[in-house]
Chains A and B, each alone.
Chain A
Amino acid sequence: MIHIIAFYLFAAMVVASGAFTITARNPVHSVLWLILAFFNAAGLMVLVGAEFIAMLLVIVYVGAVAVLFLFVVMMLDIDFSELRAGFVKNFPLGLSIAIILAAELFIGLVAYSGGKLELGTPDGSAAPLVGESNIENIGALLYTRYLFLFESAGIILLVAMIGAIVLTHRERGNVRGHQNISKQVRRRPDEATYNARPEIGAGVDL
């Protein structure tokens, strides 16, 4: 009973906040609706018993990715009328993407009802460690059967990260603001101050 109420609550919230994400006038509101959608999707994951995935969804998407989205969108100065102007021009493209997505959904539904794919059994008896929590099960799969795929995914992410740093890094030679932290820490009051005793009206050289 509570499960059913919770499912319909989360599902309705995901769909509604997804709709609000694309219809909101203010981009910041849009990002906030997106966050609500992530959050409710995590709720759905908990309901199907995938609590590890749910927590990762919240930590990675809500806690890090969406914060950066919000961070960027907040600082943009967006002209809404200019944004609206491209609507007619981009409408055919958007419509075709929407049709492709709908077709894929439909194909997926048909394939599912056809029952050709055997992905596992809902009672969890196909898990590598039956009766253990799903963190242990995911670990047991990732670090044995899918070890090389997992590591290559990690390497791709590492390369992407280094690439982003290399692309945005600029060598700026004579720019103020370079600090020698250990020098700052080593500094003592008697070497930091001195009594200059300047001539009246002469001032001091800094």
Chain B
Amino acid sequence: MTAFFESLGMNYEWAWFIATICGILLIALPLMLAVAMIIYVDRKVWAAMALRRGPNVVGPFGLLQSFADGLKVFLQETIIPSAANKGLFLLAPIITFTVALMAWAVIPFSSGAVLADINVGLLYVLAISSLGVYGVVIAGWASNSKYPFFSALRGAAQMISYEVSIGFILICVILYAGGNNLNGIVESQRGFGLGIVNGFFFNLLLFPMWVLFLISGMAETARAPFDLTEAESELVAGYQTEYSSMAFALFWLGEYANVLLMCALNTTLFFGGWLPPLEWAPLYIVPGFIWFLLKTFFFFFVFSWVKATVPRFRYDQLMRLGWKIFLPMSLLFVVLTSGWLMITRYGA
């Protein structure tokens, strides 16, 4: 895109600057639209699994429900509790929302269609997702109220715990791909399984890692069955209890953008990203970003399927799963993966 703006007669730096701004808008605006629609999809899926109809009043098939909800919260009054720490109280939703958008900069939507093609791409994703905890912690503390505070403590412990095993899982992927660049990771999955299947999941060492990654992703985004930060039967609404209006909406949008990011990461790291599922020439007629969106949408369906069917974990069970099962298992698989690659790929 930089080249296009340069052809309009700008110098390189301005062309790069404007191209980057355009790229950000090209990702962020459709992402917001996608989040609005995905909330609708989420509610429809839960409704279908509970034999209900779900949103069906606003617009055809209730398609405009999310926009109506958005308009509603936009017109509400922003209530700031008098005992709250005002600056941080307003900063927390902004942090959650911004961080949720930032990680999308390195996700490849199609061959070469990535805003920042950096060679520490996966580390960048890990770094940004580790920032997500600040929104929850600051919101819980600044609200100056007991339920949000409990939720903040839970959120901090939970997200740090699962980040550790996510880190090890990502190391396995990096070892197989031989690089950190997300486009490179997608490329290295081309014909990975017997020369036909595109995707790292087609491997006895990486398939268990994918299962762990899917579950850890749910815990990392505090999605059901790990939504202990907003367990309504214990903590009212957790860290969001004192929030209203747009501040609340920012939490919601950020949360769903994070869930979509986890789905996109599942797609990119284990299921071949924008490559078609099989290495077969006719499948390449469909453009890459369609495959990417289809796969991401499938994982989102899995996420809402799980949310609709699985009961919430107890807090000690969550910690046990993270530290006593996922962490040793992912560590073991790092050793196994590097040993296997040492024998087969770099041997002799």
Taking CB atoms, residues of chain A closer than 8 Å to B17 are 2
**C-alpha gap A125/B155 in the complex (Å):** 46
Whether A67 sits at the interface, judged by CB under 8 Å, is: yes
> C-beta contact mask, B202-220 vs A, less than 8 Å → 1, else 0?
0000000000000000000
Least Cβ–Cβ distance between A171 and chain B, in angstroms: 19
B134 and A67 contact, CB distance less than 8 A:
yes
A47 interface residue (CB < 8 Å to B): no
Q: Which residues of B contact A58 (CB under 8 A)?
A: 127-128, 130-131
Most buried by B among A1, A35, A55: A55
From known contacts A63-B130, A67-B160, A74-B152, infer whether A28 and B120 are also in contact, taking CB-CB under 8 Å.
Answer: no
**Residues of chain A from 68 to 85 with CB closer than 8 A to chain B in the complex:** 68, 70-71, 74-75
- Is the CB–CB distance between B13 and A62 below 8 Å? no
Contact with A along B304-340 (1 / 0, CB 8 A): 0000000000001000100000000000000000000
A161 contacts the other chain (CB 8 A):
no
The interface residues of chain A lying within 8 Å CB-to-CB of B128 are 58
**Residue A59 is within 8 A (CB to CB) of chain B in the complex:** yes
B152 and A1 within 8 A (CB) = no
B227 contacts A by Cβ under 8 Å: no
User: For this complex, into which size category does the number of interface residues on chain A fall?
Assistant: 20 to 34
Q: B120 touching A70 by the CB < 8 A rule?
A: no
Bound CA span A54–B128, Å: 12
A175 interfacial contact with B, CB 8 Å: no
Q: List chain A residues, Cβ under 8 A from B130.
A: 58-59, 62-64, 67
**Is the Cβ of A1 less than 8 Å from the Cβ of B119?**
no
A133 to chain B, nearest CB (A): 4
B119 CB contact (under 8 Å) in A54, A56, A133, A181: A133
Contact, CB under 8 Å: A71 / B131: no
- B163 contacts A55, CB within 8 Å? no
- Rounded to whole angstroms, the CA-CA distance of A61 and B17 in the bound complex is 30
Whether B137 contacts A67 by the Cβ 8 Å rule is: yes
Tell yes or no: A37 within 8 A of B by CB. Answer: no
Residue of A nearest to B157 (CB): A71
CA of A2 to CA of B123 in the docked complex: distance in angstroms? 24
Given the known inter-chain contacts A1-B13, A2-B13, please indicate yes or no for A64 contacting B119, CB distance below 8 A: no
Q: Known A2-B17, A67-B160; judge A59-B137 contact (CB<8 A).
A: no
Query: A-B pairs with CB below 8 Å: how many?
Result: 73
Contact A55 B123 (CB under 8 A): yes
Q: Quick check: A135 and B141 within 8 Å, CB to CB? A: no
CB <8 Å contact, B13 and A67: no
Chain B contacts for A32, CB-based, 8 A: 88, 138
Q: How far is the CA of A133 from the CA of B138 in the complex (A)?
A: 36
B137 touches A71 (CB 8 A): yes
* A181 contacts B156, C-beta separation under 8 Å: no
Contact with A along B1-31 (1 / 0, CB 8 A): 0000000000001001100000000000000
Looking at the assembled complex, report how far the CB atom of A127 sits from the nearest CB atom of chain B, in whole angstroms. Answer: 14
B74 at interface by CB-CB < 8 Å: no
Within 8 A of A (CB), among B136-165: 137-138, 141, 149, 152-153, 156-157, 160, 163
Residues 81-120 of chain B, each 1 if its beta carbon lies under 8 Å from chain A, else 0: 0000100100000000000000000000000000000111
Q: A67-B156, A74-B137 are in contact. Are A181 and B320 (CB under 8 A)?
A: yes
**Which residue of A56, A64, A71 contacts B153 across the interface (Cβ within 8 Å)?**
A71
Please report the C-alpha to C-alpha distance between residue A2 and residue B21 in the assembled complex, in whole angstroms: 14
Chain A residue at minimum C-beta to C-beta distance from B133: A67
The closest CB in chain B to the CB of A35 belongs to B134
A-B contact pairs, 27 of them (CB 8 A): A2-B13, A2-B17, A26-B85, A51-B120, A52-B120, A55-B120, A55-B124, A55-B126, A55-B127, A58-B128, A58-B130, A59-B130, A59-B167, A62-B127, A63-B130, A63-B131, A63-B133, A63-B160, A63-B163, A67-B137, A68-B160, A70-B137, A74-B149, A74-B152, A75-B153, A135-B119, A135-B180
- Which 8 residue pairs across A and B have the least CB separation, nearest first? A63-B130, A58-B127, A55-B123, A133-B119, A59-B127, A51-B120, A74-B141, A55-B120
